[in-house]
Structure 1
Amino acid sequence: MKTKNADRPAIKPVDAGALVLLSGGQDSATCLAWALGRYRVVETLGFDYGQRHRVELDARERVRAWWADRPEGGALGADHRLPVPAFGEIGDTAMTAEVEIEMAANGLPTTFVPGRNLAFLVFAGALALRRGLSVVVGGMCQTDAAGYPDCRWETIKAQADALSLGIDPSLSVATPLMFRSKAETWALAQELGGDDLVSMIVEDTHTCYRGDREHRHPWGYGCGDCPACHERARGWATWQESR
């Protein structure tokens, strides 16, 4: 099976359907816009895994509602949400428990949830098969400063191959942000939906690991101090400087 990267996103036939992993954050909201311009029908999937920033589950509803009210959102199909509580039971991380956000002894940030993206792709592949969808779209990005191993191109490609072998040979995985910086992701949103889409991402999506919806910045809401906020803010500033 072939995975699609950001530089050469193969466009599937018009009768193809896609399942977008929609967390409610900037990246997944941009991926949804990307998919809506390419596929006949686009369904969305979110996961409740006991994340501390559960406000992202509300954010994904706002993102979908925004598209539902626009002509360009005509391809938007059903939404799905799956509970995956086992991540919190396996072991504490800064994403699922009151653990300090810092670098762990293994060289990875404590926000790393081992196997999260791999498991998400398995669930997404199984759901896509049942829904008659041939493409799973995810916002994994190996240029992210966090350096999560389950966001790397090699990891996603290997999992995509496994899905093809174990679920359906016609199933593919698209990662339109894989080789894009956060600044380039902002630029892609502008290209896909103009100022309206960028404004929606700023106001309605959520990235902050601490779930802060009180502090408003030019790039959106967040504590401004966690790695996710730093990455989003840095990308925004770089993009603004390049415009």
Structure 2
Amino acid sequence: MHTSALVLFSGGQDSATCLAYALSRYHRVETIGFDYGQRHRVELEARLVVMRELRARFPAWNERLGPDHMIDVGVLGQISETSLTRDTAIEMQASGLPNTFVPGRNLVFLTLAGALAYRRDLQVIVTGVCETDYSGYPDCRDDTMKAMQLALSLGMSKRLVIETPLMWIDKATTWQLAQDLGQAADSAGGGDALVELIAEHTHTCYLGDRTNRHEWGYGCNQCPACELRASGWRQWHNQSS
């Protein structure tokens, strides 16, 4: 039975939900974040706020939440001509992928997470990749995750499990999952508290906008990340009402 996990935590909605998921399941949870020269660097600040608020609002999770690890992978920004690492407009490319795709990003992240999990004796790596609500990124696919799990386990001669709790659910269901996890952790309004925490403190907007507050959180309300988050919020509320 697995008792420990390392969560890839960016500071966004999906990774915050995955962090809550891990804290609800494992006795020891650590987090890892990556600075790759991303244009929306505000997420690096948001992740610290989210962890602070989680500790304060959910005492049981506070006892399980261990060290945070920030890794500098600026080389990704140096070799990537993408709208997440350059001041360029977001658009589709001839390949059929949006220019928000940072080639190799998740592969690098998982490799480094695997190395850290090995050193810290953590059994499970939790990541918020998803095939249901995504932009066609090949490094978010279930097949890619299975291949990475095999490669890491073979390469380190140690069984490492990659868990993807959001792989087959949409954004509306991700909001519902957050409510369910919060409620299970704290029956006295914890579900609403976790949803409010995620809406207020996580960051998703590709343009790094923290000035415009919407019902679903801060953002430009125009980039693909904002549109996806907003549409999921509306769908979830329509289903709940």
TM-score band, normalised by the shorter chain?
over 0.9
Residue 47 of structure 2 corresponds to residue 60 of structure 1: yes
> Residue 20 of structure 1 contacts residue 136 of structure 1 at CA under 8 Å; is this kept in 2?
yes
Residue identity matched to 1:29: A
> 136, 140, 144: which is aligned to 1:151?
140
Identify the residue that residue 4 of structure 1 maps to in structure 2: none
Residue identity matched to 1:199: E
Q: Which runs of 5+ in 1 are unaligned?
A: 1-11
> 140, 160, 172: which is aligned to 1:171?
160
Higher helix share: 2
Q: For the residues of structure 2 that align with 1:96 and 1:72, how far apart are their CA atoms?
A: 37
Please show how residues 97-136 of structure 1 align to structure 2 within 5 Å.
Answer: 97-136=86-125
Q: Give the share of equivalent positions with the same residue, in percent.
A: 59
> Residue 49 of structure 1 contacts residue 84 of structure 1 at CA under 8 Å; is this kept in 2?
yes
> 203, 207, 212: which is aligned to 2:204?
207
Task: Output one character per residue of 1:26-73: Cα deviation in whole Å (capped at 9) or x when no partner.
Answer: 000000000001111000000000000000001100111012223122
Q: Which runs of 5+ in 2 are unaligned?
A: 183-190
Q: For the residues of structure 2 that align with 1:57 and 1:79, how far apart are their CA atoms?
A: 12
Identify the residue that residue 241 of structure 1 maps to in structure 2: 238
Counterpart secondary structure, 1:206: coil
> 175, 178, 184: which is aligned to 1:189?
178
Residue identity matched to 2:24: G
Residue 44 of structure 2 corresponds to residue 47 of structure 1: no
Quote how far apart the aligned CAs of 1:146 are. Answer: 1.0
> Residue 216 of structure 2 contacts residue 230 of structure 2 at CA under 8 Å; is this kept in 1?
yes
> Residue 7 of structure 2 contacts residue 18 of structure 2 at CA under 8 Å; is this kept in 1?
yes
Task: Output one character per residue of 1:86-108: Cα deviation in whole Å (capped at 9) or x when no partner.
Answer: 11111310000111101011110
> Residue 27 of structure 1 contacts residue 185 of structure 1 at CA under 8 Å; is this kept in 2?
yes
Flag as ranges the 4+ runs of structure 1 deviating above 6 A: none
Q: For the residues of structure 2 that align with 1:241 and 1:135, how far apart are their CA atoms?
A: 35
Task: Output one character per residue of 1:106-163: Cα deviation in whole Å (capped at 9) or x when no partner.
Answer: 1100100001001100000000010110110000001124111100101111111101
Quote how far apart the aligned CAs of 1:237 are. Answer: 0.6
Residue 60 of structure 2 corresponds to residue 72 of structure 1: yes
Residue identity matched to 1:213: R
Q: For the residues of structure 1 that align with 2:151 and 2:64, how far apart are their CA atoms?
A: 28
Counterpart secondary structure, 1:77: strand
Q: For the residues of structure 2 that align with 1:115 and 1:207, how far apart are their CA atoms?
A: 20
Residue identity matched to 1:39: Y
Q: For the residues of structure 2 that align with 1:205 and 1:168, how far apart are their CA atoms?
A: 36
> Residue 186 of structure 1 contacts residue 239 of structure 1 at CA under 8 Å; is this kept in 2?
yes
> Which one scores higher on RCO, CA 8 angstroms, separation ≥ 6?
1
Counterpart secondary structure, 1:196: helix
